[in-house]
């Protein structure tokens, strides 16, 4: 059972690390603030969540696992809220999204 937990834990942490690396590269390649903001929120929730899940499996049923759950809940609730607040502030400041070639206004979808 411990070997299976170790393998699942390391797979989860490796997948989370890969999501963070790919998301970081994606953030560098994204064209405007809004797409970079979306990439950052995906990195934080998916990559960080997988890493926290792997660490939770490694910790077992201890006080450390309770702390990891609290950190996970904080990220789960604070990340989307902060992302929304940043996007709303950027829109209120007048920052327009980058348009696709040939468009004259942001799409109304």
More confident residue, 109 or 36: 36
Determine the average pLDDT of the residues in 13-30: 91
Return d(Cα 27, Cα 62) in angstroms, integer: 36
Return d(Cα 30, Cα 6) in angstroms, integer: 35
**Complete DSSP assignment for 25-45:** HHHHH--SHHHHHHHHHHIII
Determine the average pLDDT of the residues in 5-24: 93
State the pLDDT confidence band at 2, using cuts at 50, 70 and 90: confident
Decide: 30 and 36 in contact? Cβ < 8 Å: yes
0.85 exceeded by pTM: no
Instruction: Domain ranges for the chain, please list them.
Output: 2-92
**First-to-final CA distance of the chain:** 50
How does pLDDT run across 35-78, given as a tens digit for each residue? 899 888 888 888 999 999 999 999 988 999 999 999 999 999 99
């Amino acid at each position: 059972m411990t070997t299976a937990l170790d393998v699942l834990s390391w797979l989860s942490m490796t997948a989370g690390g890969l999501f963070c690396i790919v998301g970081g590269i994606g953030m560098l390649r994204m064209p405007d603030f809004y797409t970079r903001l979306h990439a950052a929120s995906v990195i934080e929730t998916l990559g960080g969540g997988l890493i926290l899940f792997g660490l939770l499996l490694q910790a077992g049923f201890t006080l450390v696992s309770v702390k990891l759950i609290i950190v996970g809940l904080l990220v789960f609730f604070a990340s989307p809220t902060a992302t929304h607040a940043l996007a709303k502030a950027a829109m209120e400041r007048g920052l327009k999204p980058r348009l696709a070639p040939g468009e004259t206004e942001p799409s109304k979808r």
